[in-house]
Structure formats: C-alpha cells, structure tokens
Structure 1
Amino acid sequence: MKSAAKITCHCGAVELAVQLSEDVSNAARCDCTYCRRRGTPTVSVPLDDLTIVKGKDNLTRYTWGTHTAKHYFCKTCGIYTHHQRRSDPREYGVNMGAIEGVNPKEYEPIGWHDGVNHPSDAKRDQT
C-alpha cells in the first residue's frame, strides 16, 4: 500500500510529492565514499512515484564515477532531497529527514547498505 508524502528542503524553495511504497522504517544508509559523508538515511521510491511540485530550477545535480547515480540538492540551502539510485536507476532514494513529519532519530538503529563493494565497481575493475 502506497502513502503520499511531502519532501521539502530547509528553505522551502524545493518541494517534492512522493508515493512511498515502503514503510519509512525500511530506510537505510549507504557506506560508499559519497553517501557515508552525507550520512542521510534514504527510502526507495520508483521514478514514476516522485513529482517535483516546485523548485525544479532551484535543484542542482551532482554525479561522479559512472554518473549513474544523480544526487539532487537545493541551490539555496544545500539540502539533499533525492537521488536516482546507482543500484537501481529505476528508483530514487529520498532523504528520510526531508520527509515532512518524519524524524530519523525515531527509527534508529537505521541499517547500512554496502556501497563500498558495489557490484558495478567489481565489473568495471575486471575489464
């Protein structure tokens, strides 16, 4: 069962509407070189279940390496809102802490994904 949620940056310039297909208690962090610095737990959302309600022009994108993962941030306040997943480019990971009414502290301990040993890196290293 899906539930509607609102995601906002800190300054309010960016707002997303998402249909959560999983409970926020399934959120996880990633330990890849980028995500572990950010430390934000994320919840998975199919691409079609995320809509930018306002602030599309205020989002900036960061990529590196394979450029498969695309991380989006508010240009004004710097808050990470979502990213297109490298592990499954058909999904977004949304910032659990930016979901209105959700405090990640209430869901601790939050698990970790092994992004350091990502399968795409193993394939690339073997070529």
Structure 2
Amino acid sequence: PPPGGFPVSPGSEAAGLVLEVGQRVDWFKSGERIAYAVTTGAYAQERVIDASKVVKVPHGISDEQAAAMMLKGMTAQYLLRRTFKVNAGDTILFHAAAGGVGLILGQWAKHLGATVIGTASSADKIELAKAHGFDHV
C-alpha cells in the first residue's frame, strides 16, 4: 500500500486556480493561477497544498504549459545554479538539447552569459535547440 494509505490520487505536477488561502498566506490570493510539482495528488480536482510548494503562473502561459514545465524548470535550475553555478563566460555542454529540460536550460544559460553547446539527434531538433539559446549543436 502507498505510504498514506488508500485512496490515492496520483500525479505530481499541476496548475489551476486558488480557491482559498490560509490566514498566514499573503503572497497570493483566491482567484490567482498557480502551479506546483513534486507533491502527489495532482490528478485530484481540488486539493489542499502547502503555500510554499506553489508558484504564480504569469499571463500568457497556459495551465498545461505551467504544469508541464515545473519539474523540467526545477531540473534546469538545479543543473545551472546548484550542480555547477553557471556564470558569464562559462562554456557548458548539455545532451538532449531539444528536450524539455534542454530547451529551458539553453535559454537560461544564454541569459547568464554562457556559451551553450548541445547535442541533438536530428536536423529539426538541432534547429529547435539553436532557436532556444544553444550556440552550437
């Protein structure tokens, strides 16, 4: 059985509207769009979640996009800022440049001033990676 027992609502990435907030939450309010990752229950229609686990979703990004990029974005952040802190002038190599993490990482690394080298398996993927910040693929 799962750690919390049954019933279980699977899923770990989601986006949607805030219905209510706790008394000590003042950084977002009811009606705002949020997204989260790395906590189970994303397939539920409504759920209670710790406010520290969510981020606001900016205008112009759909709920589907927000939910899909949460874990990928956290992975890119971990690689660029924690595994090796990328700075201006650094040269980095990233495999699977046209994947979900690669497309975020390429743009972010370029913004940080790095030279970004990637690998990809087809001409279409090479073109996509270059359009998202990779200098050489």
Q: Tell me the TM-score normalised to structure 1 length.
A: 0.22
Higher relative contact order (CA 8 A, sep 6+): 1
The structure whose residues are more often helix, as a share, is 2
Larger Rg: 2
TM-score by length of 2: 0.21
More strand, by proportion: 1
